[in-house]
Amino acid sequence: MSKLFSLLSVLLMSVSAFGAGAVGKMQGAAVAVEATDERMTIAAGKIGWSLAKAKEAAAKDRDLHVSADNRLFYACKFVAPVGSLPGAASAIQTGPDTTTYTGTPPTVTATSAFQLHSRPGASRVLYLDFNGHSTLSWGTPAIVSPAFQLSGTTSPTDQLNLNAIRDIWLHVAEDFAAWDIDVTTEQPPTTARGQRCVIGGSTMDWLGVSGVMGIAQLNSFGGFINGNDTVNFVFIDNNYPSMKPTTSNYEVTILCVAHEVGHTLGLQHWGETASGSGQAYTVGHTVTGHTGVTSVCPIMGNSGLVGWPSSCNLNQWSKGDYPFSNIVQDDIVTITTFAPKVTDDHGDTLATATVVSGTSITGGGIISDTADVDLMKITVGAGPLTLALKPHLKYRNYGGNLKVGISLLNSAGTVVAKNYDVSSLGNSLTYNVPTGGTYYIKVNGMGYDPSKSAAAQVWTNTGITGTVVGTTAGFTNYGSLGRYGIVGTWQSLIQLPTAIITSDRTGGVRPVVVAFDGRTSSDPDGVIAGYSWNFGDAASGSANMSTLGNPVHTYSSPGTFTASLVVTDNQGNASAAATKVITVSGAALPNSVRVASMTGSWARMTNVEVAGTAVIQVVNQYGQPLRSVAVYVRVTGSATGSAAAKTDLNGYVTIQMPKQRMTNPSTYTFSVTSLVYPAYTYNMLANLPSPASVTITR
């Protein structure tokens, strides 16, 4: 793509450049426009062209040549851009894991930099060969290309070279994202079909001339990628210091690779008629009103603006929908004759939309043509919804190919929200959903019409059509193809209530009586129907829980307690727990146990039998029930005996005498003789009743 970016005036190569004085490989080659009809007929026939078509292409472009064995190829040279087009005429021209392409670039090593794949298992392969190559397909002796190495680096595996390989791969992968092509830096198997693009070396090595950045044979894509395959070349040393890629600036190489591979896919150069600049390579045009896209050029054009390293920041495939286009060519259709499009990753209709579960999305996709829309079905509750589309990674001034559009559709497919971001190729959308239900996220490629406001841009899946709109140039959605990432969140259709705790105090000196209130809790689509309190005071037993809206709890012992509240709404949905910390101070009392209550009764056992029963509660020094306290009881009266049992969670134990007939008179006295709990003292003086006994008679 040596037409790119030069401020120098360079002589066009003439037939003598590829005549007898040229180095080995180019002997016998000729500029196509100066070749005989006989040679042109043979060369055109090899790629399915007519003589008339070949002669028309040759007449418009002196970079088209005929090789010694009568094959049409491009030797793309430097052309100093005359300048960007003025605004007098105007043209107007969204999945898989996209983290690598829309997030953070992968870290590469001397191993992984040569194992990059954009679509493993694809039916076609584009091998970016940075390893150096000995090429026989252009004749003998072999063309020996060195490994890719930028000027100033110590070796091909210098990290700066590896990073450049990664960046070039990333952007070429974007250019061919719409097709079933694996763009890779790893040597494919010999059975793989596609194209090898050798990147590195100098034009002087085997051309013997300056000013050529790339060479490619027309319609060569699709052969076997082996040692004798038809190779195209991208040079990084072209004898013009101002044009050499550097470790901090290699847009020229990024753009050149896709351009040269485009020739192997049958594409010609996009130029301008004499009413424009008249250049063989269009230098693109400026765009007004879009801060994210300030200039546009076809990939098969120049892409170079006056003042290197300035370059068009949006480079896309084209069908001539730019001012003063000079040929008839549909880039996308032509490429698709060599490689099929990718399988659609998200459905184009409401019925086939990808279903997204939950209340968020993190993913991506590929827009593969102007008719491709990606629809994702979501179930949304009332409330805020946010979506953000991330475009392809940007290298300096050069971004991806896709200006991605986003809109939100209701269940009937009617657009209820949309947004056009004029600051980037990405997009975002925020919307307050009024009524919960089924909605659809729609992603599509977009163009830009400077004569319209952002809100008035064309949102249909067919995008903007036409070539001249308004008084300044924009771009159509024809070339807005490529990868995007998407992230977003929305409310659940099941609207959960929100628990809120208030209290009259947050602590004090023990004992502390706290009045809690949860009645300010709310539900967005209903009413609060239930309360579930946990006061964080497990030692208080059953008193630790409450189902009241405004309960009161006594914290008897010192410490820090976390009270929590969960509310439920009238649909049975539970809230997240709200919490409040209660801090109780005061000196701790010595560990002790005592009887807090003692009752006796006759328990009916059968229709004619009863049993004398005593129920005893044991608490600690703070009046809190204790579990697993051993309670020893002596029974006297109509019968005598002893019993022992351990308290339950709430500090209770039940002692029961043998059953007897109801008609038999009896008297029993139950007396607690001892309470045993490890590390606790039995404080019998604090018993209630005191002494701890109860008598029953019948």
The tokens for 694 are 């109860």
The DSSP result for 249-262, as a single string, is B-HHHHHHHHHHHH
pLDDT at residue 238 in the model: 62
pLDDT in tens, 616-637: 999 999 998 999 999 999 999 9
Contact between 216 and 263 under an 8 Å Cβ cutoff? The reply is yes
Q: Residue 104's pLDDT band (boundaries 50, 70, 90)? A: confident
Residues 6+ apart with CB under 8 A from 599: 614, 615, 694
Rg of the chain over Cα atoms, rounded to whole angstroms, equals 41
| Length of the chain measured in residues | 698
With bands split at pLDDT 50, 70 and 90, how would you rate the model's confidence at 266?
Answer: very high
pLDDT of residue 24: 44
pLDDT of residue 136: 84
Q: Who wins on pLDDT, 266 or 39?
A: 266
Which tokens is 629 given? 């306290």
**Looking at residue 456, what is its pLDDT?**
85
574: pLDDT strictly greater than 60:
yes
Beta 360-367 vs 482-489: how paired, if at all?
Answer: antiparallel
Give the N- to C-terminal CA distance of the chain in Å, as an integer: 113
DSSP 47-97: TT--HHHHHHHHHH-TTEEE-TTS-EEEEEE------PBPTTS--------
Residue with tokens 């062209």: 49
Three-state SS at 160: helix
User: Which tokens belong to 420?
Assistant: 């056009």
* 645 beta partners: 631
Q: What is the bridge-based pairing of β-strands 124-129 and 181-184?
A: parallel
Check residue 206 and give its pLDDT. 66
- Which whole number is the average pLDDT over 305-312? 61
Split at pLDDT 50, 70, 90, the class of 26 is: low
Q: What pTM, to 2 d.p., does this model score? A: 0.69
92 has a pLDDT exceeding 60: no
Q: What is the mean pLDDT of the chain?
A: 85
pLDDT of residue 138: 81
- Give pLDDT, residue 90: 26
Mean pLDDT confidence for 105-112? 92
Taking the C-alpha atoms of residue 150 and residue 346, their distance in angstroms, rounded to an integer, is 40
Average pLDDT over residues 103-109: 89
Question: For a pLDDT cut of 70, what percent of the chain falls above it?
Answer: 88
> Which of 65-79, 87-101, 304-318, 594-608 is predicted least confidently?
87-101
Please answer whether residues 44 and 245 qualify as being in contact, where contact means their C-beta atoms are separated by less than 8 angstroms.
no
- Name the pLDDT band for 239 (thresholds 50, 70, 90): low
Quick: pLDDT tens for 329-379.
Answer: 999 999 999 999 998 889 899 999 999 988 999 989 999 988 899 999 999
The pLDDT tens digits for 374-399 are 999 999 998 999 999 999 998 877 88
Task: Give the pairing type, strands 383-390 and 404-409.
Answer: unpaired
Q: Of 589, 642, 649, nearest to 618 (Cα)? A: 649
Cα–Cα distance, 448 to 131 (Å, whole number): 40
Tens digits of per-residue pLDDT, 154-202?
A: 999 999 999 999 999 999 999 999 999 999 999 999 889 999 999 998 8
Give the pLDDT score at 192: 93
**Higher pLDDT residue, 277 or 613?**
613
| pLDDT tens digits, 643-695 | 999 999 899 999 999 999 998 999 999 999 999 999 999 999 999 999 999 99
Cα gap 474→669, rounded to integer Å: 102
Question: How far apart are alpha carbons 475 and 323 in whole angstroms?
Answer: 10
pLDDT digits over 465-501, tens only? 434 333 357 888 889 999 999 999 999 888 889 999 9
pLDDT of residue 426: 94
- Which one is predicted more confidently, 647 or 457? 647
Joined together, the tokens standing for residue 37 give 């009809």
* Tokens 């497919």 found at: 413
Residue 54: is its pLDDT beyond 60? yes
Task: Give 121-161 pLDDT, tens digit per residue.
Answer: 899 999 999 999 988 888 778 888 899 999 889 999 999 99
How much is the pLDDT for 575?
96
CATH numbers and ranges of domains, the chain: 15-73 (no CATH), 105-336 (3.40.390), 350-489 (2.60.120.380), 502-585 (2.60.40.10), 592-697 (2.60.40.10)
Q: What is the mean pLDDT of residues 288-309?
A: 78
